[in-house]
């Protein structure tokens, strides 16, 4: 079975659309989602709509936590607006009650058994949603991430794609669908084959100019939201 690994979509529905089209062409049957469906960009409702057509397993990211904090506290909302732009406000305005409830119920991590493979799904690190495990993280972090003898550990949060074998565990970050930070433009994701135990990374092209224009209109003072999408 082929499993699509993706995360950090961040409201970028055009990037997700390109990934899902490629996933269908590659005969992917299940999606494992590492969280951060919202934040930064402006179509989180469309993102969640598209995912309903798939069999999915998902965890919450730090931006889901920030969304619910901003719904409860004007002070938090203003803080996140200043720091990250208006993506979370778009989410608060555009998501339906049922979509908000789906996000609210997402677990911090998820243990799965798919086609005989033990899989752990988390956002940052298995022990902390907001912990960044970059490719050059200290060795003890990798040893800790591999605890539990899972066949596959899928992480997100850094927006940097990588895979690393620790003991029996293949630790994978598929990169970010909506906002690559590793200077490889496009929508990053990966496919894990449960028969061969091989994970392959992909980057899909899409109409990034439309998302850049949306960022210009909605967050004209946050040039990062435009530049990060195309920088090399």
pLDDT tens, the chain, 232 aa long: 999 999 999 999 999 999 999 999 999 999 999 999 999 999 999 999 999 999 999 999 999 999 999 999 999 999 999 999 999 999 999 999 999 999 999 999 999 999 999 999 999 999 999 999 999 999 999 999 999 999 999 999 999 999 999 999 999 999 999 999 999 999 999 999 999 999 999 999 999 999 999 999 999 999 999 999 999 9
pLDDT of residue 155: 98
What are the distances in angstroms from CA 98 to CA 45, 65, 89, 180?
Answer: 11, 17, 17, 29
pLDDT of residue 211: 98
CA dist., res. 195 & res. 124, Å (int):
27
* Residue 49 CB partners (closer than 8 Å, separation 6+): none
The beta strands (E) that lie in 53-197 are given as 55-58, 109-114, 117-122, 152-154, 161-166, 169-174, 187-193
pLDDT of residue 109: 97
Matching residue, tokens 């003072």: 221
Show the tokens assigned to 136.
């050059």
Matching residue, tokens 């993280």: 137
User: Does pTM surpass 0.75?
Assistant: yes
Segment holding 202, helix H or strand E? strand 198-204
pLDDT of residue 15: 98
């Amino acid at each position: 079975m082929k499993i699509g690994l993706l995360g950090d979509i961040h409201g970028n529905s055009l990037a997700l659309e390109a990934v899902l089209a490629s996933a269908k062409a590659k005969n992917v049957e299940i999606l494992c989602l590492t969280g951060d469906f919202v934040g930064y960009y402006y179509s989180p409702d469309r993102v969640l709509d598209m995912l309903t057509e798939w069999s999915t397993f998902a965890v919450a990211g730090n931006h889901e936590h920030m969304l619910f904090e901003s719904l409860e506290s004007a002070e938090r909302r203003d803080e996140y607006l200043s720091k990250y732009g208006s993506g979370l406000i778009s989410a608060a305005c555009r998501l339906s009650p049922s979509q908000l409830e789906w996000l609210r119920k997402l677990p911090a991590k998820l243990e799965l058994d798919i086609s005989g493979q033990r899989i752990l799904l988390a956002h940052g690190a298995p022990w902390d949603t907001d912990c960044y495990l970059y490719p050059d993280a200290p060795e003890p972090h990798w040893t800790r991430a591999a605890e539990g003898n899972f066949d596959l550990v899928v992480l997100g949060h850094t927006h940097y794609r990588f895979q690393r074998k620790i003991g029996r565990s293949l630790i994978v970050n598929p990169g970010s669908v909506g906002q690559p930070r590793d200077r490889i433009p496009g929508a990053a994701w990966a496919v894990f084959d449960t028969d061969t135990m091989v994970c392959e990374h992909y980057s899909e092209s899409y109409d990034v100019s439309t998302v850049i224009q949306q960022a210009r209109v909605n967050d004209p003072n946050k040039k990062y939201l435009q530049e990060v999408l195309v920088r090399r």
